[in-house]
């Protein structure tokens, strides 16, 4: 089974997870969030991440870490725990991507398949409203 860790700057991760759980109508104990505080030193942040990850790994075969920003501290810390096929990292998380990840976890999608689908979903969920409306106008003609 897949575990998911939402790892972000500030309290973003907690709020993202709260929003996803509210939309889905239920919480999921296999999905955790960890927020790296702005003034937290990297050694203590890394230790906190190690413990959170270890806890998830105790009850899951593989863990997907979703982070907010490639190149940011949460992603950089996550990369020190990267293990192909066991601990994978996807950056630039958005809410549709997170919701999809939680749904795929429940349907027991293998980690590497989930990774590819979530990357695509995260990108396709970005919609310019003017383009969407333009397409709708066109469809009605």
Partner 1 sequence: MTRKELVISNRLGLHARAAAKLVQAASRFHAQVIISTHQMSADAKSILGVLTLAASKDTPVVLEVDGPDEAAAMKEIESLITSRFGEE
Q: Does 121 participate in binding partner 1 (rule CB under 8 A)?
A: yes
Q: Is 7 helix (H, G, I), strand (E, B) or coil?
A: strand
Q: Does 60 participate in binding partner 1 (rule CB under 8 A)?
A: no
Contact 63, 53 (CB under 8 A): yes
SS3 string of 57-89? HHHCCEEEEEECCCCCHHHHHHHCCCECCCEEE
Q: What is the smallest separation between the CB atom of 41 and partner 1, expressed in angstroms?
A: 37
Q: Residue 24 or residue 79: which is nearer to partner 1 going by CB?
A: 24
Q: What is the smallest separation between the CB atom of 136 and partner 1, expressed in angstroms?
A: 5
Chain centre to alpha carbon of residue 45: 18
Q: Residue 44 or residue 123: which is nearer to partner 1 going by CB?
A: 123
Interface with partner 1 (CB under 8 A)? 22-25, 96, 99-100, 103, 121, 125, 132, 135-136, 139-140
């Amino acid at each position: 089974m897949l575990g998911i860790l939402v790892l972000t700057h500030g309290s973003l991760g907690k709020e993202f997870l709260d929003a996803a759980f509210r939309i889905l109508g239920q919480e999921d104990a296999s999905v955790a969030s960890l927020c790296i505080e702005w003034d937290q030193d990297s050694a203590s942040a890394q230790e906190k991440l190690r413990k959170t990850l270890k806890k998830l790994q105790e009850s899951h075969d593989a863990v997907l870490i979703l982070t907010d920003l490639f190149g940011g501290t949460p992603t950089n810390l996550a990369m020190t725990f990267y293990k192909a096929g066991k601990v994978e990292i996807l950056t630039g998380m958005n809410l549709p991507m997170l919701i999809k990840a939680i749904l795929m976890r429940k349907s027991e999608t293998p980690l590497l398949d989930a990774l590819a689908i979530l990357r695509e979903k995260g990108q396709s969920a970005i919609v310019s409203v003017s383009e969407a409306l333009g397409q709708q106008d066109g469809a009605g003609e």
